[in-house]
A and B are shown apart, each in its own frame.
Chain A
């Protein structure tokens, strides 16, 4: 038995990345970024406003948090719907109390299903970024480019029609992408996307339709990852958020470079009555620190972009 000889050929073994989407760059060697008013850490709290369809296709994989018992999986459908009915409002109260600005990543299906909810979000004036059609419309390599273009365009058009803002950000369901996604997003007028989790700061991303900005939404510090995937308690979650906040503040202080704390929060998870207190505790800790700039994701991108050499 032997492997095909091509297995020992290394086509991309060269300086830089093994693809041409972005430049190889170490965070520590980049030019410093300054946030407004001398803040050291920009805080992006992303609340996921999601629709998990009951008739989930699960292709090419089951979306994390998706239906998992035989049809009709009322259990998971309603547990996720809880977020849009109850959890979201509990999270918003906590954020408002702490003076923290949320950004909403919204599945466009929400605009059709719960227009009154989207209108509430719109009236708050917080940023809405697009999150494809629903949690089951995963973007993946086996997708025909025309199908994916239609999906992206339909999602953006639906959300843009529903809110009084341009909607220039994107977060794929389960941070999923095909090889074409960045090109299609740029083509559709998206400025930044949050799917790539390889950095702690924004960075430029190359597409066939000009540049996008990658604004990483941390997965390792995502509530769903910590509480649902890792089965850590909500208080452990709060400790991890606090430790991250303290570390980034200290790193920004010692390096003189602004840093980003990106919190991905799912109201169906952290908005449960037994978890919300831990979320509040994390927010309280953050809001008690000096040097935090709580901002919409798009403002963080704009501020970062304005300082590029």
Chain B
């Protein structure tokens, strides 16, 4: 085991490349709906239990299934009203289980990225060949069912190995949502040597973390989103920032929660100089305009030994 993931170099917030987003936008804003399938009775993983209650855990399962049966449509119509295209963090088996949901995302020209096969299958304990097979399956499934090249990755249930990002880069990936160290994209060191970046996702503003872990009130969640935006918008004058709101329809799309979220979304999209975009577009724009500069300035990105403290 390593003391440090050795994926990126240290850089302080006051010593940044002055990123300019398209049309002079201060904030690149993206919304990442997690479109997930959880299995009722998945095979056991030696490191992590899928459900807290004995099988069948209909409470855990039913909570998630609500998103597919009820929530996604509400969330999609809400995002439509505010001109937001989702970047879908996809349990790719959902392409087979619920193709209707995939079709609705495609009609909206949403991006799809890989969130593994099922959110009840974990990378913990996989050897390299297994994890590669799982990642390649997910990339292939997205291509087959959506026609899109999968650019982004968020490990299923955030379960990682030391090789996860290397393997995703080797499968043709461009960006990861798995790292939470910054409010701007940063180069990530992968063994392929290909450009690979971290696009800020968020745990703090992730509705599941908000509602399940931190148990926050729905209206306060709306306030948190607005406060985060205000600060990133202000700082974005000095250098473009990224703001992501990761969503789960099974959380945010409940009748007692969705209005407060919509108010926050309306607040953000009502501002000028906000680039409402997707994860892939942020990653591509950054790689095209800033990646080489960032790597040259900070000395890293393509070798395994240049890290801070190495």
A15 touches B99 (CB 8 A): yes
A197 touches B53 (CB 8 A): no
Which residues in A have their C-beta under 8 angstroms from that of B260?
Answer: 243
A158 at the interface (CB under 8 A from B): no
Which residues in A have their C-beta under 8 angstroms from that of B117?
Answer: 10, 13
Please report the C-alpha to C-alpha distance between residue A239 and residue B259 in the assembled complex, in whole angstroms.
Answer: 12
Partner of A28, one of B46, B55, B73: B73
Interface residues of A in 233-257 (CB under 8 A from B): 236, 239-241, 243-248, 251
Partner of A198, one of B63, B97, B99, B133: B63
B121 touches A7 (CB 8 A): yes
B217 touches A15 (CB 8 A): no
A207 at the interface (CB under 8 A from B): no
Known: A1-B125, A2-B125, A177-B56. A230 touches B215 (CB 8 A): yes
A-contact 0/1 string along B25-68, CB 8 Å cutoff: 00000000000010111010110000011111011011111101
B127 at the interface (CB under 8 A from A): yes
A232 CB to nearest B CB, Å: 5
Interface residues of B in 98-133 (CB under 8 A from A): 98-101, 117-118, 121, 125-127, 129-130, 133
Known: A13-B97, A243-B255, A247-B255. A197 touches B69 (CB 8 A): no
How many A residues touch the partner, as a band? Answer: 35 or more
B54 touches A141 (CB 8 A): yes
The A-B contact count (CB < 8 A) is 153
B53 touches A220 (CB 8 A): no
B160 at the interface (CB under 8 A from A): no
A55 CB to nearest B CB, Å: 22
Q: Which of A17-25, A32-40, A270-278 contacts B (4 or more CB under 8 A)?
A: A17-25
Partner of A3, one of B41, B53, B118, B130: B130
Which residues in B have their C-beta under 8 angstroms from that of A140?
Answer: 53-54
Partner of A141, one of B55, B69, B70, B133: B55
How many chain-B residues does the 8 Å CB contact rule pick out? 54
A179 at the interface (CB under 8 A from B): yes
Please report the C-alpha to C-alpha distance between residue A217 and residue B165 in the assembled complex, in whole angstroms.
Answer: 41
A27 touches B73 (CB 8 A): yes
A199 at the interface (CB under 8 A from B): yes
A244 touches B97 (CB 8 A): no
B245 at the interface (CB under 8 A from A): no
26 A-B residue contacts at CB 8 Å?
A: A2-B127, A3-B130, A7-B43, A7-B125, A10-B93, A13-B93, A24-B69, A26-B100, A27-B70, A28-B73, A140-B53, A175-B58, A175-B59, A197-B63, A198-B66, A200-B66, A219-B59, A220-B257, A229-B215, A230-B217, A243-B218, A243-B259, A243-B260, A244-B256, A247-B256, A248-B255
B residues adjacent to A (C-beta < 8 A): 37, 39-41, 43, 45-46, 52-56, 58-59, 61-66, 68-70, 72-74, 93, 96-101, 117-118, 121, 125-127, 129-130, 133-134, 215, 217-219, 254-260
The 7 closest A-B pairs by CB, nearest first: A198-B65, A244-B256, A2-B127, A198-B62, A244-B255, A230-B215, A240-B256
A residues adjacent to B (C-beta < 8 A): 1-4, 6-8, 10, 12-19, 24-29, 60-61, 140-142, 174-179, 195-200, 216, 218-221, 229-232, 236, 239-241, 243-248, 251, 261
